[in-house]
Homo-oligomer: A and B are copies of this chain.
């Protein structure tokens, strides 16, 4: 039995991100890889990160609206570079509050995009409460979208696998890499997307270095016949649900 994935051209990935920017640093490689295979990727940003992740802009005296506008523009550019669509829910940050209304909006996006794969934050982060709030709603909405009785348009969802992307301080967030994704072939694209976010230039190199370190671990964990190039770039993920497969590998 073929483990019946959708044909590449029609596969859909949904990325749920607390703030504009998160999806670039943490899942840019996975997004670019899916897009490079001709798949559809949709990013939903719950907020712009306008209060909690825009310190420089606040110090320059910019207004709230101005900051939101700037961050939205940058995120759109980065999404375009990666080959993905992007939607903004403007739900506010610091704190991003988990509400039934916002969860319901996410259900609609699930029913609309019909994802084969979902990417979001992990459920713990002692340095940033918005990330777990986003993850909580992303998981709840995925379950609700599967129920025929849930009052939202569109067909009920299957049960797409979920991947948590790597937080900034993994050891403090109960994050153990369970999946190492080889992003070598699209790393240049990820770097381009990172460079769309000029306020955090120090992160360009930080996440380039992290991708290299995760690449070294990928090589260390790879099977004996893997013909890897000199430099490998990787992203780390966790799975809250079991992997379904037709072959152990």
Contact = CB atoms under 8 A, between A and B. Distances in A.
Contacts of A126: 139, 240-241
Contact of A129 (B140, B169, B206): B140
Given A144-B94, A172-B176, A176-B171, A225 B5 contact: yes
Given A52-B149, A94-B150, A245-B182, A223 B159 contact: yes
Most chain B CB within a 10 A radius of its CB, from A34, A178, A222, A224: A224
Given A51-B149, A128-B143, A222 B249 contact: no
A243 B129 contact: no
B149 A58 contact: yes
Most chain B CB within a 10 A radius of its CB, from A180, A237, A241: A241
A221 B162 CA distance: 10
A67 interface: yes
Interface residues of A: mostly helix, strand, loop or mixed? Answer: loop
A118 to B, nearest CB: 10
A94 B242 CA distance: 23
Nearest to A240: B126
A229 B4 CA distance: 11
A147 B94 contact: yes
Contact of A147 (B52, B140, B229): B52
A237 B161 CA distance: 17
Interface string A1-32: 11111100000010000000000000000100
Contacts of A91: none
Identical copies of this chain, number: 6
B180 A244 contact: yes
Contacts of A140: 95, 129
Interface in A127-154: 127-129, 139-140, 143-144, 147-151
Given A149-B58, A228-B4, A221 B244 contact: yes
Nearest to A149: B51
A177 interface: yes
B243 A243 contact: yes
